[in-house]
Chain A
Amino acid sequence: MPSPAHVQSTPGAAVADIAVNDVRVRLRRGVRRKRRSAQRAVVALGLLLPSLAVLALFTYAPIVQVVWDSVHTRRAPGIGASFAGLANYQAILADAAFRNAAINNLIYAVGTVGPSLVIALGFALALARSTQVNNLLRAFFFMPVLIPLVAAASLFLFIFLPNVGLLDFYLGRFLSRPPNWLGDPDVALYSIMALTVWKNAGYYMLFFLAGLQAVPDEAYEAAYLEGATSWQRLWHITLPYLKPTTAFVAVIALINVVTQVDHVFVLTKGGPSDSTNLLLFYVYQQAVESYDIGKAAAGTLVSLAVLVAVTAVSLGTLENAFGGRT
């Protein structure tokens, strides 16, 4: 604002006056903007601080410890750790058990993520309408999620028990030689996968139920009137609308594939003959059974790297599907 008390002596001075004031205004606005953005940063920090404090103590501090452990090793039993560079990483990549666990995890991922999603989608499609019956059925599918894994594992130990267990009791009438569900190295991993699908499909079903909401009825009506079959409707209308949901569920499922190893811990301990060893169970074995903290830490970081990569890729797809909204 031009100063009111200022007496204009010449037209040139007046113009210069206005120009100077214009710059002053812009400067002030710039300072204000910076102050506002600094204010915002402070506010943001304040809001994030409680979470960050907890994360620092219980997530980041351990990660630092894990990184430190992964580059140290103990050359002889009973003495302290010494720096070892990438020796631990080399050791685990050379370890047949690690490669085995990685391959098992891959099979496990393919065998659970795909079927879980398909099954969950199937359930969601069938139970999309909110009827009494459908509500009840949805509850049935969700119940496994509520059972603690320790208990679910005991339950399944019984179900898989040879001869007397649930599966053999009923299937034994048709199959003369039912496989040793948890004791045959060729079968055990698939039994574990079945348990995982049972436990998680209901959970993923809920996300698909949400996603189905977004598909407008009119699209279905129009397709029906044009004579599209139910399969065509599924393929051309439902599935495209469900892309973001599918990506989201796939990420959650993939994270679970790597991080949920409790059932292996309780049911098979990686056996028989290492056939159900998974990456994070391998880490557990190194940490506890072999008491080789260095290798356990290296294994953790490798698994973490895999997870971060997978998540970043999927989240990228997710954001794009959402239209780039952060």
Chain B
Amino acid sequence: MFLGHRNTVPLALRREIAPRIGQALVRLAALVWLVPILWMLVASLRSQSFGGPGMASLIPDVAPTLRNFVDAWEAADFPRYYLNSVIIVAGILAVQLVTITLAGYAFARLAFPGKQALFYLFLLQLMLVPVVLIVPNLTMAARIGLYDTLAGVMAPYFASAFGTFLMRQTFAAIPRELEDAALVDGASVLQRIRHVYVPLALPAFLAFAIVSVTAHWNEFLWPLMVINSPDKRPLAVGLAAFTRGQEGAQAWGVIAAGTLLVVAPLLVLFVLFQRRFINSFVTSGIK
């Protein structure tokens, strides 16, 4: 249970000024942090979409309108984009969960030659950036027949250095005795992973799932490169159609509405699963 042992009287209530000032400052900071998102909400419901003098006001209009959402929705095939994004993040996550579990176990529990070097090789993936990888990856995807397919968008991400690292830390913290017990019962490696490690690492999986889903739901450049067919476009690419006015014109209200449409599922999921989400993220952390 997250921080359950902090049920003693909090220090802040023990007549100390510094923690109280700290609390107040943080609440103020939360408001500041929220301002851009608040504005997005307000602007998307505002009727003048080009940027009148009151455009920046955080006070909602007296007569809010859904016009911007309608415009945004109509300008792009949102239902299709949602479907594509869901397929992409689900596909990536499904395969990642398998590869990181297997690789994480190998790094956490097995001793084999070249282990340290291999681990650093894995970490290399974290440090390479899309721009450099575009041409080689696109060529590779085309060569294996995945050009202009959703699978082509997913393929480079099936292995995850971050996930492997996370699983390594998580599995290493699980007591060996549990595995040894299963070993005595004659379980194979895969069976031990499945029955001993996976159930205990569920919070870590949840945490990783959230990071992976968020990253790939919001990804723009690589899908733009791989996908040609309009009906395979994911959300972030569709969103870019609004936010990229070339020669100067921006319809801010529609941009805000379009952004909300993209972000909404994540926000809703977040609000619903907030506590479990943060707890699992936290407990899986770096232990």
User: Do any beta carbons of A and B sit within 8 angstroms of each other in the complex?
Assistant: yes
Q: Give chain A's interface residues, CB within 8 Å of chain B.
A: 37, 40-41, 43-45, 47-48, 50-55, 57-63, 65-66, 119, 122-123, 125-130, 135, 137-159, 161, 164-166, 168-170, 198, 201-202, 206-207, 209-214, 217, 220-221, 224, 229-231, 233, 244-245, 248, 255, 258-259, 261, 266, 280, 283-284, 287-288, 296-297, 300, 304, 307-308, 311-312, 325-326
Kindly count the residue-residue contacts between A and B in the assembled complex, taking CB atoms under 8 Å apart: 286
Residues B109-149 near A (CB distance < 8 A): 110-113, 115-116, 118, 120-129, 131-133, 135-137, 140, 144
Given A61-B136, A135-B275, is A47 in contact with B30 using a C-beta cutoff of 8 Å? no
- Tally B residues with Cβ within 8 Å of A: 103
Residues B241-276 near A (CB distance < 8 A): 243, 250, 252, 255-256, 259, 262-263, 266-267, 270-271, 274-275
Given A138-B274, A311-B127, 13 extra CB contacts under 8 A: A47-B189, A48-B118, A51-B99, A51-B164, A54-B158, A62-B137, A137-B30, A146-B267, A154-B243, A164-B56, A231-B18, A283-B129, A300-B132
- CB pairs A–B below 8 angstroms (21 shown): A40-B110, A48-B102, A50-B98, A50-B159, A51-B122, A51-B164, A53-B159, A66-B132, A122-B29, A123-B26, A126-B25, A135-B274, A139-B271, A144-B33, A147-B263, A164-B53, A210-B287, A213-B283, A266-B243, A280-B129, A304-B128
* Interface pair B270/A44, CB less than 8 Å apart: no
* Interface pair A126/B23, CB less than 8 Å apart: yes
The 10 closest A-B pairs by CB, nearest first: A210-B285, A148-B218, A169-B56, A62-B136, A58-B156, A54-B159, A126-B26, A51-B159, A151-B259, A47-B106
Given A151-B239, A155-B36, A287-B131, is A50 in contact with B282 using a C-beta cutoff of 8 Å? no
* Interface pair B99/A141, CB less than 8 Å apart: no
* Interface pair B131/A63, CB less than 8 Å apart: no
* Interface pair A308/B103, CB less than 8 Å apart: no
* Interface pair B35/A166, CB less than 8 Å apart: yes
CA distance A209 to B162 in the complex (A): 20
CA distance A164 to B39 in the complex (A): 13
CA distance A229 to B15 in the complex (A): 11
Closest to B105 in A: A47
Closest to A261 in B: B129
CA distance A213 to B120 in the complex (A): 29
CA distance A206 to B281 in the complex (A): 7
CA distance A153 to B263 in the complex (A): 14
CA distance A268 to B284 in the complex (A): 37
Closest to A244 in B: B286
* Interface pair A58/B35, CB less than 8 Å apart: no
* Interface pair A150/B240, CB less than 8 Å apart: yes
Which of A126, A135, A202, A229 has the most chain B CB atoms closer than 10 A to its own CB?
A: A126
CA distance A297 to B129 in the complex (A): 12
CA distance A38 to B8 in the complex (A): 53
* Interface pair B278/A209, CB less than 8 Å apart: yes
* B236 beta carbon closer than 8 Å to chain A: yes
* B60 beta carbon closer than 8 Å to chain A: no
CA distance A150 to B266 in the complex (A): 16
* B220 beta carbon closer than 8 Å to chain A: yes
Given A155-B39, A198-B33, A213-B3, is A62 in contact with B286 using a C-beta cutoff of 8 Å? no
Closest to A230 in B: B18
Minimal beta-carbon separation of A92 from chain B (angstroms): 14
Residues B1-26 near A (CB distance < 8 A): 2-6, 8, 10-11, 14, 16, 18-19, 22-23, 25-26
* B151 beta carbon closer than 8 Å to chain A: no
* Interface pair B127/A259, CB less than 8 Å apart: yes
Residue numbers in A under 8 Å from B214 (CB-CB) = 145-146
Minimal beta-carbon separation of B75 from chain A (angstroms): 15
Residue numbers in B under 8 Å from A311 (CB-CB) = 123, 127
* B155 beta carbon closer than 8 Å to chain A: yes
CA distance A50 to B239 in the complex (A): 33
* Interface pair B127/A209, CB less than 8 Å apart: no
* Interface pair A41/B112, CB less than 8 Å apart: yes
Residue numbers in B under 8 Å from A283 (CB-CB) = 129, 131-132
Residue numbers in A under 8 Å from B200 (CB-CB) = none
Given A54-B159, A148-B220, A202-B33, is A155 in contact with B40 using a C-beta cutoff of 8 Å? yes
